[in-house]
A and B are shown apart, each in its own frame.
Chain A
Amino acid sequence: MAKYILKRIAGIFIVLFVVMTAAFFMMRLMPGGILDGVEENLSADMRDLIYAKYNMDKPIWEQYLLFLKGIVTEWDWGVSLKLYVNVSVWDILAERIPITLYLGFLSLLISVPIGIAFGTLAALKKNGIVDHAVSFLVVLFISIPSFVMATGLQYFVAYKWGWFPLIYDDSLPRITTTFLPVLALSFSPIATITRYLRAELSESLNSDYMLLARTKGLTRVQATMRHALRNSLVPVVNVIVPAFISIMGGSLVVESIFGIPGLGGITVRSINVADYSVTLASLIYYTLISLAAILLVDISYGLIDPRIRMGGSKDA
Chain B
Amino acid sequence: MGETMIQVKDLRVNFRAWAGTVQAVRGVNFELKKGETLAIVGESGSGKSVTTKAILGILPSNARITSGEILYNGKDLTKLKEKEFYDIRGKHISLVFQDPLSALNPIQKVGKQICEALKKNEHMSNGEAKKRAIALMEDVGIPEPETKFSQYPFQFSGGMRQRIVIAIALACNPEILICDEPTTALDVTIQSRILDKIKELKAEHDLSVIFITHDLGVVAGIADRVCVMYAGKIVEYGTVDDIFYEPAHPYTWALLSSMPDLDTKEKLFSIPGAPPNMMYPPKGDAFAPRNRYAMEIDFEQEPPFFKVSDTHYAATWLLHPKAPKVELPEVLKHRIQRMKEEREGA
Where the two chains meet, the residues of A that have a C-beta atom closer than 8 Å to any C-beta of B are 206-209, 211-220, 222, 226-227, 230-231, 234, 304-307, 310, 312-313, 316
Whether A306 and B152, one on each chain, are in contact in the complex, defined by CB atoms closer than 8 angstroms, is: yes
> Chain A's nearest CB lies how many Å from the CB of B124?
13
Whether A222 and B107, one on each chain, are in contact in the complex, defined by CB atoms closer than 8 angstroms, is: no
Whether B90 and A216, one on each chain, are in contact in the complex, defined by CB atoms closer than 8 angstroms, is: yes
Give the nearest-CB partner of B121 in chain A: A217
Pick the contact of A216: B99, B106, B117 (CB < 8 A).
B117
How far apart are the CA atoms of A211 and B83 in the complex, in Å?
15
> Of residues 201 to 259 in B, which have CB atoms within 8 Å of A's CB atoms?
none
**Chain B contact residue count (CB 8 A cutoff):** 36
Whether B104 and A234, one on each chain, are in contact in the complex, defined by CB atoms closer than 8 angstroms, is: no
> Chain B's nearest CB lies how many Å from the CB of A54?
56
A306 partner residues in chain B, CB cutoff 8 A: 107, 152, 154
Report if B89 contacts A (CB, 8 A).
yes
Whether A213 and B105, one on each chain, are in contact in the complex, defined by CB atoms closer than 8 angstroms, is: yes
Pick the contact of B58: A215, A231, A234 (CB < 8 A).
A215
Whether B102 and A218, one on each chain, are in contact in the complex, defined by CB atoms closer than 8 angstroms, is: no
How far apart are the CA atoms of A231 and B87 in the complex, in Å?
25
B58 partner residues in chain A, CB cutoff 8 A: 211, 214-215
Whether B121 and A209, one on each chain, are in contact in the complex, defined by CB atoms closer than 8 angstroms, is: no
How far apart are the CA atoms of A74 and B128 in the complex, in Å?
64
Report if B40 contacts A (CB, 8 A).
no
Whether A307 and B116, one on each chain, are in contact in the complex, defined by CB atoms closer than 8 angstroms, is: no
Report if B155 contacts A (CB, 8 A).
yes
A207 partner residues in chain B, CB cutoff 8 A: 102
How far apart are the CA atoms of A250 and B37 in the complex, in Å?
65
Whether A222 and B105, one on each chain, are in contact in the complex, defined by CB atoms closer than 8 angstroms, is: no
Pick the contact of A209: B82, B95, B104 (CB < 8 A).
B104
Contacts A209-B104, A234-B107 given; indicate if A215 touches B116 (C-beta within 8 A): no
B117 partner residues in chain A, CB cutoff 8 A: 216-217
Please, could you name 11 A-B residue pairs with CB atoms under 8 Å apart, sorted by A? A211-B58, A212-B165, A215-B56, A215-B90, A217-B87, A218-B120, A219-B83, A226-B116, A227-B108, A312-B154, A316-B106
Q: Mark B126-170, 1 if CB is under 8 A from A, else 0.
A: 000000000000000000000000001111000000000100110
> Chain A's nearest CB lies how many Å from the CB of B42?
21
What 5 pairs across the A-B complex have the smallest Cβ distances?
A316-B154, A217-B90, A312-B154, A216-B117, A209-B105
> Chain A's nearest CB lies how many Å from the CB of B57?
9
How far apart are the CA atoms of A231 and B108 in the complex, in Å?
9
Whether A219 and B86, one on each chain, are in contact in the complex, defined by CB atoms closer than 8 angstroms, is: yes
How far apart are the CA atoms of A310 and B171 in the complex, in Å?
28
Report if B97 contacts A (CB, 8 A).
yes
Pick the contact of A215: B95, B99, B101, B102 (CB < 8 A).
B95
Q: Mark B45-79, 1 if CB is under 8 A from A, else 0.
A: 00000000000101010000000000000000000
Whether A216 and B89, one on each chain, are in contact in the complex, defined by CB atoms closer than 8 angstroms, is: yes
User: In the complex, which of the residues A207, A307, A316 has the most CB atoms of chain B within 10 Å of its own CB atom?
Assistant: A316
Give the nearest-CB partner of B104 in chain A: A209
Whether B155 and A310, one on each chain, are in contact in the complex, defined by CB atoms closer than 8 angstroms, is: yes
How far apart are the CA atoms of A206 and B86 in the complex, in Å?
19
A220 partner residues in chain B, CB cutoff 8 A: 82
User: In the complex, which of the residues B87, B116, B168, B171 has the most CB atoms of chain A within 10 Å of its own CB atom?
Assistant: B116
How far apart are the CA atoms of A222 and B116 in the complex, in Å?
10
User: In the complex, which of the residues A208, A305, A307 has the most CB atoms of chain B within 10 Å of its own CB atom?
Assistant: A208
Report if B339 contacts A (CB, 8 A).
no
Give the nearest-CB partner of A308 in chain B: B107
Report if B328 contacts A (CB, 8 A).
no
> Chain B's nearest CB lies how many Å from the CB of A105?
27
Give the nearest-CB partner of A227 in chain B: B105
Contacts A209-B102, A220-B82 given; indicate if A215 touches B154 (C-beta within 8 A): no
**6 further interface pairs, Cβ-Cβ under 8 Å (given A213-B116, A219-B83, A227-B108):** A209-B104, A214-B89, A215-B56, A217-B87, A217-B117, A316-B106
